[in-house]
């Protein structure tokens, strides 16, 4: 089970030359959790404490004298090559490299070569820290890093001092008077001067004298120019002593003092609460917990558990981030869905209103015994059937009217039916039983076959008979009727047929018979 407080709470062991203090940092507040003496007894107590707080995050902030700073230049290389060069330089410089760090001061061009300036830093006596680091290791604690106050000074100076090339940050810590020289935002030198309890006036004068001494020393180191702009000195005065400090720390041509009250400095770095009796080290402790620098002294092996812990958090954070991204996408789609549903509801409402309005209006229609749709269907289909029906009376009337104009023609019969014109063209009229109308329209027609005889004309007068039948047929092909095929004559005068003659002296009894085929298309 993940303890959420572990995610936000960090413990910092403030390491001084005498006693060591364990602080807990959570939510912008510092609490003093324990105090250990610097001897073996204190280390034992620390081990006991670690056993009671397994899984906690720890940092070590060393505020001790004897911190070595040495500037070197290495060839400008990157990656594992740089690591190897730095490790070699640290090994050359320090006998014990367990707590050694190389701070980059930027690049410098040296002839045709490009070099990197490094500030090598370590403690002259690392053995005093070793039992405490061993205790952390043995307890399986997650050590995020071993820092010294000077490593955190650039971050504090950035909050307190005006941005300038060189700043000297002076704080009165529990361990003593800490002076850190920062150039271009990077640490160049630091020293710790032990102090004893003294009145504010004396402390301020001590600050002034020590600052003058350090400035002189930096000049001798050529870290400061002999002539030039005054050096900015940012002094954090103990609580309530700012006025006294300002009276004593008078700026001159070499030094320009800027005094800050401790409370104001805490506010500047958003440190809300500190334990009673804590001095300016609280500022560094808070920065260690909340804004630790990348450079620190602990080795990779010492920080392994912290790295695994970070990896655990990173993996979970990646999962949470992925879920958040998915939730964002899902949420946007959900919002889109809501919008679509709202639109659908509006459309349904409009459709419903239209349907209701339709129902309201149709309710005023005449009352029927059936539904409107059934009524429509019945009438439309009935009309379709009726349109494909016809009255034989019309055809009979038409034939009768034409016949009146041809007294020499006498009819034998009229065959009326509903069928297809092609039936007449093919010359194969269907059997009466099969004489059904076409199922669908388009081809339906009234078919009329008019059979008759031509009287008062000699049977051998082919020309006369043909002429009379042709005229009769032409007269019938009127009033919407058309000849479906050529009239059927008593003889065949076409080239495809056989023409026969039977010319005798006597007159035959039968008049020549013919048939006229008419058709009228139905709609």
Of residues 436 and 463, the one with the C-beta less far from other proteins? 436
Q: How far is the CB of 401 from other proteins (least distance, A)?
A: 13
Are 210 and 235 spatial neighbours (Cβ–Cβ below 8 Å)?
no
Of residues 229 and 311, the one with the C-beta less far from other proteins? 311
The full 3-state SS of 390-436, as one line of letters, equals CCHHHHHHHHHHHHCCCCCEEEEEEEEEEECHHHHHCCCCCCHHHCC
Find all residues with CB under 8 Å of 515, minimum gap 6, and list them: 449, 450, 451, 452, 487, 488
Tokens of 58: 């720890």
CA 360, CA 473: separation in Å to the nearest integer?
61
Of residues 8 and 346, the one with the C-beta less far from other proteins? 346
Of residues 75 and 382, the one with the C-beta less far from other proteins? 382
Q: How far is the CB of 324 from other proteins (least distance, A)?
A: 8
Helix/strand/coil for 85:
helix
Q: How far is the CB of 368 from other proteins (least distance, A)?
A: 6
Of residues 221 and 396, the one with the C-beta less far from other proteins? 396
Find all residues with CB under 8 Å of 43, minimum gap 6, and list them: 36, 131, 132, 135
Of residues 134 and 397, the one with the C-beta less far from other proteins? 397
Are 243 and 214 spatial neighbours (Cβ–Cβ below 8 Å)?
no
Q: How far is the CB of 436 from other proteins (least distance, A)?
A: 7
Q: How far is the CB of 14 from other proteins (least distance, A)?
A: 29
Q: How far is the CB of 394 from other proteins (least distance, A)?
A: 10
The full 3-state SS of 189-220, as one line of letters, equals EEEEECCCCCCHHHHHHHHHHHHHHHHHHHHH
Closest CA to 173 of 85, 13, 285: 285
Q: How far is the CB of 387 from other proteins (least distance, A)?
A: 11
Of residues 229 and 344, the one with the C-beta less far from other proteins? 344
């Amino acid at each position: 089970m993940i303890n959420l407080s572990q995610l936000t709470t960090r413990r910092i062991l403030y390491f001084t030359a005498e006693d060591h203090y364990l602080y807990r940092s959570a939510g912008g507040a510092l609490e003093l959790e324990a105090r250990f003496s610097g001897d073996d007894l204190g280390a034992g107590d620390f081990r006991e404490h670690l056993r009671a707080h397994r899984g906690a995050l720890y940092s070590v902030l060393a505020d001790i004298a004897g911190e070595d700073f040495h500037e070197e230049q290495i060839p400008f290389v990157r990656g594992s090559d740089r690591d190897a060069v730095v490790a070699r330089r640290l090994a050359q410089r320090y006998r014990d490299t367990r707590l050694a760090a190389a701070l980059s001061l930027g690049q410098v061009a040296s002839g045709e070569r490009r070099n990197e300036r490094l500030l090598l830093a370590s403690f002259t006596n690392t053995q005093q820290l070793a039992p405490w680091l061993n205790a952390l290791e043995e307890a399986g604690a997650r050590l995020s890093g071993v820092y010294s106050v000077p490593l955190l000074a650039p971050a504090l100076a950035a909050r307190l001092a005006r941005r300038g090339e060189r700043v000297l940050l002076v704080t009165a810590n529990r361990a003593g008077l800490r002076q850190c020289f920062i150039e271009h935002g990077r640490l160049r030198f630091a020293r710790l001067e032990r102090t004893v309890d003294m009145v504010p006036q004396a402390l301020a004068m001590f600050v002034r004298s020590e600052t003058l001494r350090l400035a002189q020393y930096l000049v001798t180191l050529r870290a400061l120019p002999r002539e030039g702009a005054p050096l900015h000195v940012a002094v954090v005065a103990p609580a309530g002593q700012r006025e006294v400090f300002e009276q004593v720390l008078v700026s001159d041509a070499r030094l320009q003092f800027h005094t800050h009250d401790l409370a104001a400095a805490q506010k500047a770095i958003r440190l809300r609460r500190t334990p009673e009796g804590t001095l300016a080290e609280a500022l560094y402790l808070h920065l260690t917990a909340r804004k630790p620098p990348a450079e620190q002294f602990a080795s990779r092996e010492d920080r392994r558990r912290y790295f695994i812990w970070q990896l655990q958090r990173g993996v979970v954070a990646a999962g949470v981030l992925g879920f958040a991204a998915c939730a964002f996408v899902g949420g946007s789609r959900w919002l889109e869905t809501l919008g679509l549903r709202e639109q659908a509801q509006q459309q349904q409402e409009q459709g419903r209103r239209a349907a209701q309005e339709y129902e309201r209006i149709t309710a005023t229609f005449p009352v029927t015994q059936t539904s409107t749709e059934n009524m429509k269907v019945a009438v439309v289909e009935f009309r379709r059937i009726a349109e494909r029906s016809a009255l034989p009376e019309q055809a009979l009337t038409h034939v009768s009217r034409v016949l009146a104009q041809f007294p020499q023609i006498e009819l034998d019969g009229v065959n009326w039916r509903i069928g297809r014109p092609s039936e007449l063209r093919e010359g194969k009229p269907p059997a009466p039983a099969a004489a059904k109308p076409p199922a669908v329209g388009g081809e339906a027609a009234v078919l009329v076959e008019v059979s008759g005889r031509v009287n008062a004309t000699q049977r051998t007068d082919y020309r006369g008979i043909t002429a009379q039948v042709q005229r009769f047929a032409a007269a019938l092909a009127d009033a919407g009727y058309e000849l479906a095929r050529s009239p059927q004559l008593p003889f065949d005068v076409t080239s495809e047929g056989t023409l026969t003659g039977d010319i005798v002296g006597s007159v035959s009894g039968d008049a020549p018979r013919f048939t006229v085929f008419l058709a009228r298309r139905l709609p």
